[in-house]
Amino acid sequence: MITALLFAASAVILIVAAELFTNAVEWAGYRLRLGSGATGSLLAAIGTSLPETIVPVVALATRSPSADSVATGAVLGAPFLLLTLGAAFTGVAVLLRRGRRELVLDRRQPRRDLGVFLAGFSLALLCILLPFPLRVTAGTLLLMGYIAYVVRTLRSSVPDEEMPEPLHIVRWIVREEPHGVLIALQLVIAVGLLVLGSQLFVGALDSVAAALSISPLVLALIVAPMATELPESLNGVLWVRSGDDGLAFGNIAGSSAFQATVLASIGLVFTSWHPGVDGLIGALLALLSATFLLAVLWRGRARGFVLALAGIPWLGYVVAQLVTGGHLAR
C-alpha cells in the first residue's frame, strides 16, 4: 500500500514539475535568444541532468560499501536508459499526437549531440583499461569537450521569434514578457520538484528491487536511472505534444552528451571505474542505441514507430536481469 502511494505521489509531482520546467525553459531560451535546438540541448539538458548527477555524488559522499558500484552504475546507466526508453517514449508521443507522425529536426542537431555522446562515452569506456593518472587526463579532456560542444551549439543557434505560453506561476497576473527573476524562480521550483518526485519514485522502486534481491550495481543500472531519467522523458512527451520537436529531442540527446562528458568525468576521477560485465553490457547497449538513433535521424527526421524501437535493448536487458535474478554476468 505504501509503495503504491509513493508511486502515485511521485507521478503527480513529476508531471507537475515537468510542465513547470518545460514552460520555464522555453521562456529562458526566448529571453536568451536561443533556438529550440540549443534550448533543449543545453538549458533543458543541464537542468534535467541534475538528478543523475546527484546520485553518484551522494553515493560517493556516503562512503558506504556499495558506493563505488552505485556511482559507477549511475554514470553508465543514465545514458543507457535515456537513449533507449527515453527515445522510445518520444517515439510513442509522436505516434499519438495529431497530424505529423514523424519527428522533424534540424539535421545538424542529432549529428552534433549524438556525435558528442558517442565520442565521449567511447573514451570513458576505453578508460576501464587505463591507470588512474590517465583516467584523470581523460576526464579533463571530456570536460573540455563539453565546453567546446556548448560553444558550437550556441554559435549555430537561430533565435525563435514566437513567444511561449504565459509563465505558469504568474500566468493570471503577468501577460507580457516575464522578468528573468520569475523565470529563474519557476525553474528552481521545477527542478526541486523533479528531484523530489524522482527520489520518491526511486524509493518505491528500491522496495521492489530489495524484494527481488537485485545486486547494487544492477540496481544502479536499472532502478536509479528510471527515476533520474523520468524528467527528460516526461519533458520530451510534453514538447512533442506541443510540436516542439527540437526541444524534445534536444532534451534527450543533449542530456546524453552531458552524461558522456561531465558525468563520466566524475566516474573516471572519483570511482575505481571497474563496472564489471553487467555494467559493460549496459554501456555497450547505450552505444548501440546512440548509433541506431544517429542512423535513423541522420537526415533530421524519423517516424515515431522507428524511434519507439529504441526501447527494445533496455527492455531486453531488464528482462534478462529479472530472469537471472540480477546475475546476468554469471
pLDDT tens, position by position, 83-134? 998 899 899 999 988 777 899 999 999 999 999 999 999 999 999 999 999 9
Q: Where are the domains of the chain?
A: 36-162+216-323
Q: Which pLDDT belongs to residue 218?
A: 61
Q: Which pLDDT belongs to residue 143?
A: 96
What the block records as the C-alpha cell of 28 is 529562458
CB-based burial label for 247 (10 Å; 0-12, 13-18, 19+): buried
Q: Which pLDDT belongs to residue 223?
A: 63
Instruction: Please report which residue ranges of the chain form alpha helices under DSSP H.
Output: 2-31, 36-38, 45-48, 50-62, 67-81, 87-96, 108-126, 132-155, 180-211, 216-228, 230-241, 245-258, 264-270, 276-296, 304-308, 312-323
Taking the C-alpha atoms of residue 35 and residue 207, their distance in angstroms, rounded to an integer, is 42
Taking the C-alpha atoms of residue 70 and residue 53, their distance in angstroms, rounded to an integer, is 12
In the block, cell 517514449 appears at 89
Three-state secondary structure call for residue 294: helix
What the block records as the C-alpha cell of 151 is 560553444
Name residues whose C-beta falls within 8 Å of residue 59's C-beta, 6 or more positions apart in sequence.
66, 67, 70, 71, 74, 220
Of 68, 269, 43, which is closest to residue 153 (Cα–Cα)? 43
In the block, cell 543557434 appears at 157
Q: Which pLDDT belongs to residue 285?
A: 93
Instruction: List the end-to-end C-alpha distance of the chain, in Å, as a whole number.
Output: 34
In the block, cell 579533463 appears at 140
Q: Which residues pair with 104 in a beta bridge?
A: 301
Sign of CA dihedral 208, 308, 187, 264: positive
Q: Which pLDDT belongs to residue 258?
A: 94
The second-level CATH assignment, the architecture, of 36-162+216-323 is Up-down Bundle (1.20)
Residue numbers in the chain where pLDDT is lower than 70: 1, 51-52, 55, 58-59, 62-66, 174-175, 202, 205-206, 208-230, 325-330
What the block records as the C-alpha cell of 56 is 553518484
Q: Which pLDDT belongs to residue 209?
A: 62
Sign of CA dihedral 165, 196, 234, 160: positive
Sign of CA dihedral 36, 41, 43, 49: positive
